[in-house]
Amino acid sequence: MPRAEHNISRKDISPNAIKVMYRLNKSGFQAYLVGGGVRDLLLGLSPKDFDIVTDAKPEEVKKLFHNCRLIGRRFRLAHIMFGREIIEVATMRGHHDEEKGGHISKRDSSGMIVRDNVYGSIEEDAERRDFSINALYYNIADYSILDFANGANAIANRRIEMIGDPVARYREDPVRMLRAVRFATKLDMTIEPATADPIHEIADALGGIPAARLFDEMCKLLLAGKAEQNFKMLREFGLFDALFPELGEYLANDASEQDLAFIQAALNNTDQRVNSDQSVTPAFIYAALLWPLVESKARELEAESELSQQDAFQIAASETLDRQQQRTAVPKRFSLMSRDIWTLQLRMPKRQGKRAERLATHPKIRAGFDFLLLRGQVYGGELQQLASWWQQFLESSGIQRGALIRETSSDTPKRSSRRRRPRRKPQPKAAPPSSES
């Protein structure tokens, strides 16, 4: 597609990406803007990242840029750093049955690629791309677009189409199933049947993906303004059960309609915050997703044992987080915050005396209150009243707070102020008189 036939202009591309491509090109290498950057520009969107592909090897790229570092074991990449912006440069990939330059590929027994340092031509690289909408290359040499898999047509028809055999491509990298869902919701596209049909049967293959990588993919799915849609589509394809096995089973068998409504309300709330440029955190999302499961486990433990509510809850929280860690490795800074949000749900009903004032200074009180507010909106009843009280309390100060606390205290049965008379210690009995006296 020559420049006259597409809408991409250099002014829409990051100046740093342009700089990298020109330097590679002037040094005798091919350089193309590739994938999502080209796709989004054709759709009239602003790309989040500008990725580049070249025929230069990673070590050759590093020699050209002093601000470059090489990363990755599965596939070597060059990251060229311009302050906070990172331009990712990849060497064109080849097919796995070839051995080039001493680099070889490797698959495991299921067909998943575990090492991928095989380099090739631009045609081979295009065949290695996942979806046709991502096999588009913007050539800095003449400003044309190379379209190897009818990607422009797929964009026009708003369809997600796998390049090659979908089953084989999903087995090579099961995360492609999550990417199909994410692109479909992000770009308002449909997954064409041949690409969609195998997903349900292969969903369990996600179990072989490192838990840390799955957490990163979940963040992309849940923190980009399409969390509620992604949640529904993940469940539809059976992918959610592969990512959250215990929660998936609970939602299918034991959860109430309100439990599901609460999760969807939390995801919708997150979407609203993202789309209005407010801050969001994985900790709140994970707290909301796992809350119905934690609460159900805690009630069960409390009923079956002599544990207090607090102890039963802490055990349920620990067990739930530990099991989830095995599938999506949540960093400790987020899992600890999720626990804080949960613990605040137990503490916030206890408002008498100085408790409310002390709790209002808790570093996570705002997140805990937002969580309580959502619970009140969905479950209603006393939770809604409690959330309303805390809203008034947090928005007031001084005399108003005192009045709210007194009002709460008056609703709580008071202990008798009469002091209990101490029990008298029994006097030791006198020893019987000795027979000798």
**Single-letter code of the amino acid located at 53:** V
Cα(420)–Cα(407) distance, rounded to whole angstroms? 28
* 49 in catalytic set: yes
- Partners of residue 89 on adjacent β-strands: 52, 78
Q: What one-character DSSP code corresponds to residue 82?
A: E
Cα(315)–Cα(301) distance, rounded to whole angstroms? 9
Cα(149)–Cα(232) distance, rounded to whole angstroms? 29
Q: What one-character DSSP code corresponds to residue 155?
A: H
Cα(329)–Cα(216) distance, rounded to whole angstroms? 9
Are 172 and 114 spatial neighbours (Cβ–Cβ below 8 Å)? no
Checking DSSP bridges between strand 68-71 and strand 51-54, what pairing results, if any?
unpaired
Are 174 and 208 spatial neighbours (Cβ–Cβ below 8 Å)? yes
* Angle between helix 332-347 and helix 309-325 axes, rounded to 10 deg: 160
* 97 in catalytic set: no
* 241 in catalytic set: no
40, 51, 55, 271: which one is catalytic? 51
55, 116, 125, 130: which one is catalytic? 130
Are 408 and 359 spatial neighbours (Cβ–Cβ below 8 Å)? no
Residues 6+ apart with CB under 8 A from 406: none
**Single-letter code of the amino acid located at 97:** D
Q: In the structure encoding, which two tokens stand for residue 155, read together?
A: 């964009």
Cα(155)–Cα(159) distance, rounded to whole angstroms? 6
From the list 312, 339, 335, the residue with the least C-alpha distance to 325 is 335
49, 173, 204, 370: which one is catalytic? 49
Question: 3-state DSSP call for residue 70?
Answer: strand
Cα(212)–Cα(209) distance, rounded to whole angstroms? 8
Are 262 and 291 spatial neighbours (Cβ–Cβ below 8 Å)? yes
Catalytic residue set:
49, 51, 130
